[in-house]
Amino acid sequence: MDDLKQKYLSRIADAADEAALEDIRLAAVGKKGEVALKMRELGKMSPEERQTAGPALNALKDEINSALAAKKMALADAALDERLRGEWLDVTLPGRSRPAGTIHPISQVTEEVTAIFADMGFSVAEGPQIDTDWYNFDALNIPGHHPARAEMDTFYMHRAEGDNRPPHVLRTHTSPVQIRHMEKHGAPCRIIAPGRVYRADYDQTHTPMFNQVEGLAIDKDISMANLKWVLEEFFAAFFEVDGIKTRFRASHFPFTEPSAEVDIQCSWEDGQLRIGEGDGWLEVLGSGMVHPKVLRAANVDPEVWQGFAFGMGIDRIAMLKYGIPDLRAFFDSDLRWLRHYGFASLDVPTLHGGLSR
C-alpha cells in the first residue's frame, strides 16, 4: 500500500500539464485503476482483513485525489503567471473609440422633408394609426364599393361578437390626419402629415407597412399653380437640383378634383438613375385640389375655402435620393446594411422637439 501511495504521489508531483495529470488519475483511481482493482479484492478477504484493508484503501484514494486537485491548481496558477509575464497593457494608450449610432434612412428623410416644408410655412400634424373607416374612407369621398375598402387591400381590426362600434382599420394613408386637423382647427391651414401607413401588399416596391407624407393647404384663393410651385420647390431642395422639371398628368383620386399624378425629370445612364436631367420621367406622387365633399366632411365650407393636397412615399423618395434598390431593405436588413446607409445626426429640430443629437 505504501509503495502504491509513493508511486502515484511521485508521478503527480512530476506531472508537467493537465493532460499528464488526467492520465495519472485514470491509472490510479479510475474505474480500471490500481486502487479500484485493489478495492475489488476486498470481497475475497476475511472480515478481519477487510477491517484493516478497507479504510487504508479509502484513505489512499482520498490522498491521491487531494494530491491531484492540489497539482491541478498549481498548474493553473503557473499558467496564469506565465500569461501575466508574457502579456502587458499600456495604460497610457487612448481608449478604444465607441462608434456613434446612426439615424435610419427613413428617419433621416422624414427630418429632411419636414425641414423643407417648414421653410414654406407647413406645420406637422399627427393622428392615430388605427382609425375608423369613416376617417380613413368615407370622409375622403371613398365609396363603399371602392377596391381599397376590400379586406384584400386593407387591414381591418378584429371585432368581437356583439361589438357595434364602427369598423376600425390600420390607416391606409395619412389623409385621415387632414380631416381631423380641419375638424379641430378649421381653415385656413397649411400642414404636412408624415407617418406610418399599412396596406396588404409585399414586393420589391411595396411593403405591408411603409411611411408616407401628405400635404394640405387650405385658403380662399389657392390654385393648382400654388401646388405646382410648392412641389417644384420641394423637389429642388430635396434632390439638390436647381430647376428640376415636373410634369402633371391628369388622374383620378376620390378625394381631389381635379387630380394629377406628378412626374419629375430623370435619365438612366449605365443603369444609374439621375434626377433632374435627361428626357425621361419618373412618377413620384399624387396630388390635386381638395374635393368639396372632403371639405364638407371636415366641416369646412367649400363655397368659401379651397385648397390642394398631395401625398408621397417617404420610403420611395429615400430610395431615389440615396440609391437604395429594394424597399424591403428598410425593414429586414441586418446591421451591415444600416451601417452602409446610416446617417450622422442632424443639427436641426426633429419631429419630437429639440435637436436630433
Dihedral sign for Cα atoms in the order 247, 248, 250, 254: positive
CB 139 within 8 A of CB 179: yes
CB 211 within 8 A of CB 106: yes
CB 320 within 8 A of CB 284: yes
The pTM of the full predicted model, rounded to 2 decimals, is 0.66
The mean predicted confidence, pLDDT, of the chain is 84
User: pLDDT-derived band of residue 346, with 50, 70 and 90 as boundaries?
Assistant: very low
Report residue 98 as a C-alpha cell.
465607441
If you average pLDDT over residues 40-69, what whole number do you get?
76
Q: 246-271, pLDDT tens digit by residue?
A: 999 999 999 999 999 999 998 887 77
Q: 67-123, pLDDT tens digit by residue?
A: 888 888 988 888 888 888 888 777 888 888 876 667 778 888 999 999 999 999 999
Q: 177-211, pLDDT tens digit by residue?
A: 999 999 999 999 999 999 999 988 766 666 788 89
The predicted pLDDT at position 355 comes to: 43
Q: Which residue type does 3 have? A: D
